[in-house]
Each structure stands twice: as C-alpha cells, then as structure tokens.
Amino acid sequence: MFNSRITGLGKYVPENVVTNNDLKQWMDTSDEWIQERTGIKERRWIDPKTSDDTTSIMGAKAAKIAIERAGLTKDDIDFIVFATLSPDMYFPGGGVRVQELLDMDTIGAIDIRNQCSGFIYGLSVADQFIKTGMYKHVLVIGSENHSGGLERSTRGRHVTVIFGDGAGAAVLSREEDHTKGILSTHLHSEGKHAKELALEGPSTGRWVDTIMNENNPDDTSYYPYMNGQFVFKHAVVRFSEAIVEGLAANELQKEDIDMLIPHQANLRIAQFIQKKFRLPDANVYNNIMRYGNTTAASIPIALTEAWEEGKIKEGDTVVLAAFGSGFTWGSAIIKW
C-alpha cells in the first residue's frame, strides 16, 4: 500500500470579471445585499463573445499548470478524474475532453457528479487508485461553467448572484512515506434532500419539457433551484461533522489544523465553521469574495492560491471540507 501526495496544483479563471453592480443590468439586486449575505464582491463569468472557454477547456488549462508544477509531462499521467456539475455536453463528460485537449495517451478518464463536494470525492477516488498501486500519477480536476446556465433575472437572483466560473486541478502522485500526503478522506450522502438544491432538466425525467420550453415560459426546471436557508442549515452541521470525523480518524485535534480550506459556498458558512473550531484567520483560506461559489472548482482554486501565496508549507496539516447538492459532503485530511 502507498499513500498519495499532491505534487502539483493549478487554476484557471475566465478573464471576464462581473461585479455585484454589473448584475443589476439583469436583475433587481444590490452590492450591499450580496456582500452582506454571501461575502461575494465579484465573480468570473465566461464572456462567449470574447472567449471560447468551456468547462473542459478551463479544466485542461488548470491541469496543464498542475502537471508542469508537479515536474511531470502529460505522458506521466495515468488517469483523469474530472468533477463538474456543468459538463460541456449532457454526455460524454469532461474527462475525455481533457484527454483530447492535452493530447494524452488513451488513459482512462472518469467524471464525478458530486457538485460542491466533487473535488473531495475526486481526490478520494484518485487516492484509492494510487494506494492500491494501480496508478502512479492521477490528475484530479474540478471545473464549472455556471454562467452558461444561470437565470439572469430577478426571479433567479437568489441563486444566480452566488455562482462563478473557473477550474482548479491537482496531480496526485505515489508517496511511499505513510505519514505524508492524503491521510484519509470521508464521504457522505443523503439523497432524500436531492431536490433542495438541484437542476432537474435536461434529464431523462425532464428533457421533453425542456425542449418544449419556449411554449412554457414558467418552466424553471432547466435552471438551478436552491432552497437557500434549508441548504445553509444543513451545510453548517455537515461541514463540522466532516471535519470532526477526519480529525478523529487521524487522532488530531482542532489545534492541529494549519490550514482549513472550506468549499467556498458562502463566506458566512466559512466564518461559522472558523468560529466553531476557534481557528485564527491565518489558518482558514477564503477567496469567495473574488470568485463566488465555483462548486467543484472552489476547493482546488483556493488550495492553489493558498499554496501560491506560501500559506501551505511542508509538514502542515491541511483540511479540506465540502457540502452541497445531493446532499453530499466530505472531508480530506492531508499532511503536506
């Protein structure tokens, strides 16, 4: 048995910055409301007039950086794990597009459909492949193009203002020292709440309605739906549980956390968790102010930035935690 260690990180966000005030061209909202409730100041939204970015293309751009920083080439990668809720196509997923875009050999590629906890699920899948010795280097990508599918109107404002586009990637490599790298991952789901945060169409249950949408302007099933306060209440509980579970599994205390990277769902959720675990500001990384909630991309973007800013050092205990649609949630405990 081996451990897996993150050897390279990369991120890519579209150039186009959309401030809270910019959103007023589509909906009745305010910078004050958005900042007060979510902490978000701006987000990146692909501008299709000036960019050909897609979920897969952004993922490939982030992956390229991660591979270079790992000191590897695309030919060293054995497997691709791609997490997204906004694939370029209904099928196939984004992993196979990355294989093509990076001109990789015919290695395996799998897509993960676990929304906000997609990157942690992806990390866990990659970790198992490396632990068993099957693969040596696995690419894990989280990427989202939310802007293409959000409802830009006052009706959709409570969801639309939150989400942003972007991608992050990590290379996981074989590590022989069992005290280093990913120590454990913890994954959970509770499908009875699936409809509290979901996009129902297009799907096999909804696609006829969706195609017929022009005749049914009140059908919102092709826009994301979120029961915000319900999700918020579950998020604060599940985030905490996942962190406690991860620490306990490794006989660690909350004081041992050098860096907590929570999924960037809402700054208020992150602040609640920080307070609960009594963590100083320097031990929690947030960037939702600049990018909004980028779902599967949020943890790898934040992890990349924290690492780029020198906030994660060798030997640090890094905790990743996420909660979102499904409901799904989880944590990863890493010794850097």
CB of 247 to ligand UT7, least distance (A): 22
On whether the CB atoms of residues 105 and 144 are closer than 8 A, the answer is: no
CB of 152 to ligand UT7, least distance (A): 12
Burial label for 237, CB within 10 Å (0-12, 13-18, 19+), is: exposed
Q: Is 232 in the site for ligand UT7 (CB under 6 A)?
A: yes
Per rule CB under 6 A, count of chain residues that contact ligand UT7: 21
Of the candidates 9, 161, 199, 267, which one interacts with ligand UT7 according to CB under 6 A? 161
Catalytic residues: 116, 263, 293
Site string for ligand UT7, 247-286 (x = CB under 6 A): ------------------xx--x-----------------
On whether the CB atoms of residues 138 and 205 are closer than 8 A, the answer is: no
Q: Can you tell me the distance from the alpha carbon of 97 to that of 118, in angstroms, rounded to the nearest whole number?
A: 18
CB of 183 to ligand UT7, least distance (A): 25
Give the contacts of 167 (CB within 8 A, at least 6 positions apart): 11, 12, 13, 55, 58, 59, 61, 62, 141, 142, 143, 144, 297, 300, 301
Q: Which two tokens stand for residue 195?
A: 């409809």
Of the candidates 69, 157, 174, 290, which one interacts with ligand UT7 according to CB under 6 A? 157
Q: Is 228 in the site for ligand UT7 (CB under 6 A)?
A: yes
**Which H or E run contains 268?**
helix 267-276
Of the candidates 37, 180, 206, 276, which one interacts with ligand UT7 according to CB under 6 A? 37
Stretch that binds ligand UT7, among 28-36, 133-141, 217-225, 328-336 (CB under 6 A): 28-36
**DSSP three-state, residue 103:** coil
Q: Which residues bind ligand UT7 (CB under 6 A)?
A: 29-30, 33-34, 37-38, 116, 157-158, 161-162, 228-229, 231-232, 235, 265-266, 269, 293, 324
